């Protein structure tokens, strides 16, 4: 779009021609046209309009050569996914999730040119994801967490498109104000139940100590005492442990992709997940016993042994499938008539017990590998409030000892 503005200055009449295009820095560019002195007013205006058309065409041609704007969302998304998988710029688990997310996303906006997509298109798509029937497993809508995964997928594709000069910079904000649905009170309550109580943790650990082999005793002791994520736990190797100081370094995760890939190593969740945790002398002694036991196991296996240095292994030394602890716990809880809440509930239990026992938030946050203390505060608001309330009564009890009225 071009606009012509007539102006008068000391040198006479001039025309300012402005061309508007969102691909331009600031959204516009301009030039000045000065008509010849012999031209009449009508001739000057006609020529100014002609110059505006020519200038607009020139600007558009230059921009079209610089930017490829007629690319569909699904094409640029496939390019981004292929590049991410080839260059290993994204975790394998994330790529696998994106491949699943792309199907519904392509149905909604895949055929649209990327610069024609607006926030209304995306909001409609996200709203549809929350409708009953979308989730084929339970007949309900997709959870808010899954809806956010879809938003992240779209946003990441937009960032890549802008980087490759196939989308305008304004597309970076297209997902910014999109709203996802909220959990109902019953769903929120159900979600909050996925935490083992202190009694439940005690029952589970006692059952494991009495019935299971040493490997599971070590495994679930670490889960309960230090709140590690499953991948971090299964990725532990003996070289990560300083048996003199008790310092354990979290530097990798062990994951399972599919039957073709099997168990593979990846990086922790975020930068703060690279951290050090102190193990107690009792746990370190259990780990030493496990090491000795596995050394005997190695002798029995002979040439069949694969030295992975992992704490948790199969019969031949290969890393244990990260899904095995989940299945083990599920069966144990069923056998012992304990409500099974999953493996991650141990992590929540660690945080709950630590906070309500008065452990400083920064210590809990650091041990769990949270990005900031705020993450811990927001995730465990109720526990923080409970700890605060206990602190109030602690002050009260101290003062009461000094007051004659009580």
Query: Angle at the Cα of 342 (from 341 to 347), degrees rounded to 5?
Result: 100
| Residue whose tokens read 């498109």 | 161
Cβ count near 94 (within 10 Å): 16
Cβ–Cβ under 8 Å, residues 164 and 80: no
Cβ count near 281 (within 10 Å): 9
In tens, the pLDDT along 40-55 reads 989 989 999 999 999 9
| Residue whose tokens read 């991650």 | 344
Would you state the structure tokens that stand for residue 107, as one six-digit string?
């149905």
Whole-number Cα distances in Å, 5 to 17, 33, 217, 362: 6, 10, 81, 62
The answer to whether residue 378 scores a pLDDT higher than 80 is: no
Would you state the structure tokens that stand for residue 400, as one six-digit string?
């009461």
What would you report as the CA-atom Rg of the chain, rounded to the nearest whole angstrom?
31
Over residues 209-223, the mean pLDDT reads 95
The class of domain 198-389 in CATH terms is mainly alpha
Write down the pLDDT at residue 182. 80
3-state helix, strand, coil in the chain (%, to 5): 55, 10, 30
Q: Is the pTM of this model over 0.85?
A: no
Tell me the domain boundaries of the chain.
Answer: 2-66, 73-184, 198-389
Question: Lowest-confidence range among 24-38, 241-255, 374-388?
Answer: 374-388
For 68, phi and psi rounded to 5 degrees? Answer: -100, 90
Write down the pLDDT at residue 406. 41
Residue 36 exposed, middle or buried by CB count within 10 Å (0-12, 13-18, 19+) = exposed
Cα distance between the two ends of the chain: 83
pLDDT interval class at 401 (50, 70, 90): low
Please, how many CA atoms are within 13 Å of residue 160, restricted to the half-sphere of its CB? 21
Please, where are the H alpha helices in 88-241?
Answer: 92-105, 119-129, 144-163, 185-192, 198-211, 214-226, 230-234
Write down the pLDDT at residue 8. 87
**What CATH number belongs to 73-184?**
1.10.150
In tens, the pLDDT along 348-361 reads 888 888 888 888 88
What lies within 8 Å, CB to CB, of 316 at 6+ separation is 301, 304, 305, 306
Would you state the structure tokens that stand for residue 406, as one six-digit string?
């009580």
In tens, the pLDDT along 164-188 reads 888 888 888 899 999 998 866 555 5
Structure-model confidence comparison of residues 104 and 194, the more confident one: 104
In tens, the pLDDT along 69-79 reads 678 999 999 99
């Amino acid at each position: 779009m071009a606009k012509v503005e007539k102006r008068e200055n000391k040198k006479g009449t001039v025309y300012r021609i402005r061309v508007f295009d969102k691909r331009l820095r600031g959204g516009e560019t301009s030039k000045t046209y000065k008509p010849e002195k012999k031209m009449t007013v009508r001739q000057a205006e006609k020529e100014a309009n002609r110059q505006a058309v020519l200038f607009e065409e020139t600007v558009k041609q230059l921009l079209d050569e610089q930017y490829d704007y007629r690319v569909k969302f699904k094409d640029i998304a496939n390019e981004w996914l292929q590049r991410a998988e080839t260059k290993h710029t994204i975790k394998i688990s994330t790529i696998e999730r994106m491949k699943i997310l792309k199907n519904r996303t392509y149905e909604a906006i895949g055929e649209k040119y990327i610069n024609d997509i607006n926030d209304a298109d995306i909001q409609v798509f996200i709203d549809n994801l929350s409708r009953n029937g979308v989730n084929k497993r339970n007949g309900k809508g997709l959870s808010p967490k899954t809806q956010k995964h879809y938003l992240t997928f779209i946003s990441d594709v937009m960032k890549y498109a802008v980087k490759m000069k196939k989308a305008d910079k304004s597309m970076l904000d297209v997902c910014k104000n999109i709203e996802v649905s909220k959990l109902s009170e019953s769903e929120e309550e159900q979600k909050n139940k996925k935490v083992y109580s202190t009694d439940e943790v005690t029952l589970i650990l006692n059952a494991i100590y009495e019935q299971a082999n040493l490997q599971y005793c070590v495994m679930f002791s670490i889960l309960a005492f230090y709140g590690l994520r499953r991948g971090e736990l299964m990725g532990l190797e003996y070289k990560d442990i300083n048996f003199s100081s008790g310092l354990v370094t979290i530097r990798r995760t062990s994951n399972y992709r599919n039957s073709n890939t099997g168990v593979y190593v990846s990086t922790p969740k975020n930068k703060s997940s690279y951290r050090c945790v102190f193990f107690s002398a009792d746990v370190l002694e259990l780990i030493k016993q496990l090491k000795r036991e596995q050394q005997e196991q190695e002798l029995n296996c002979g040439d069949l042994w694969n030295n992975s240095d992992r704490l948790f292994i199969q019969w031949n030394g290969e890393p244990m499938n990260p899904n095995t602890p989940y299945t083990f716990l599920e069966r144990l809880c069923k056998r012992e008539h304990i409500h099974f809440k999953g493996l991650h509930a141990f992590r929540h239990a660690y945080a709950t017990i630590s906070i309500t026992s008065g452990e400083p938030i920064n210590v809990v946050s650091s041990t769990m590998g949270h990005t900031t203390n705020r993450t811990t505060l927001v995730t465990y608001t109720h526990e923080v409030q409970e700890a605060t309330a206990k602190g109030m009564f602690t002050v009260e009890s101290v003062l009461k000892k000094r007051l004659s009225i009580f």
